[in-house]
Amino acid sequence: MSTNQELQIAVVIGSTRTGRFGPVVADWLLGHLDARDDMVADVVDLAVTPLPTVMPGFGGELPAEEIELLAAVTPRLAAADAFLFVTPEYNHSFPASLKNAIDWHNQQWHGKPIGFVSYGGLSGGLRAVEQLRVVMAELNTVTIRNTVSFHGAAQAFDADGKPRDPAADAAAKTMLDQLVWWAQALRDARQARPFTA
């Protein structure tokens, strides 16, 4: 049975580049989450909690320092009811830092929905999102149809970090409403029947 308990949303900031624009987009998105009473955000910023980039051989042991890095991220993904990926577009795809975070995990993604906020140059990150949909299908997730995207990202926000086009706020609300529907439905489903496929 569905409960009114707030949904735990892990907001994953995918870019780690020095001088990156990602936090401007993420902060605006977090304002939307803060204004709602149906979700709480946990910001997983891959620049703040970086993950190892060299994986062990199959069955191999991880060095202690890599275990420590993973411990700062993995339990938070596991605890999430849903995810929001804030991603730029790099060379018609999403950044390697985000792919690395995806690949270090498996069950933590399963049976959960993911919404996307993308940004970039001409494309607004839409190609990055389309590629993420394919990757995240492999990890048994549901990707939310509606997205929010910003082309010419640096010019799309004013000095206060607000989008110049108010349509972005309406798009965020629609995307978050869709995310909530799926997150509640899938939380109920996981409680009734753990995802084991």
Ligand X SMILES: Cc1cc2nc3c(=O)[nH]c(=O)nc-3n(C[C@H](O)[C@H](O)[C@H](O)COP(=O)(O)O)c2cc1C
User: Binding residues for ligand X, how many (CB under 6 A)?
Assistant: 16
Q: Which two tokens stand for residue 172?
A: 């965020």
Determine if 120 is a binding residue for ligand X (CB under 6 A).
yes
Burial class of 112 by CB neighbour count within 10 A (0 to 12, 13 to 18, 19+):
buried
Determine if 17 is a binding residue for ligand X (CB under 6 A).
yes
Determine if 173 is a binding residue for ligand X (CB under 6 A).
no
Q: Which listed residue (35, 54, 64, 122) binds ligand X by CB under 6 A?
A: 122
Nearest approach, Cβ of residue 35 and ligand X (Å)? 24
Determine if 15 is a binding residue for ligand X (CB under 6 A).
yes
Residue closer to ligand X by CB (options 133, 173) is 133
Residue closer to ligand X by CB (options 70, 90) is 90
Nearest approach, Cβ of residue 2 and ligand X (Å)? 36
Any idea which residue has 């909530």 for tokens? 180
* DSSP conformation class of 157: B
17-48 CB burial, b ≥16 within 10 A, e <16: eeebbbbbbbebbbebbeebebbebebbbbee
Phi, psi of 82 (to 5 degrees): -160, 165
Q: Which amino acid is at 186?
A: L
Q: Which residues lie closer than 8 Å to 71 by C-beta, 6 or more apart? A: none
Determine if 121 is a binding residue for ligand X (CB under 6 A).
yes
On whether the CB atoms of residues 127 and 89 are closer than 8 A, the answer is yes
Determine if 163 is a binding residue for ligand X (CB under 6 A).
no
Residue closer to ligand X by CB (options 45, 81) is 45
Of 82-101, binders to ligand X (CB under 6 A) are 88-92
Nearest approach, Cβ of residue 77 and ligand X (Å)? 20
Determine if 20 is a binding residue for ligand X (CB under 6 A).
yes
On whether the CB atoms of residues 72 and 22 are closer than 8 A, the answer is no
* CA 179 – CA 162 distance, rounded (Å): 22
Nearest approach, Cβ of residue 153 and ligand X (Å)? 5
Per CB under 6 A, residues contacting ligand X are: 15, 17, 20-22, 88-92, 119-123, 153
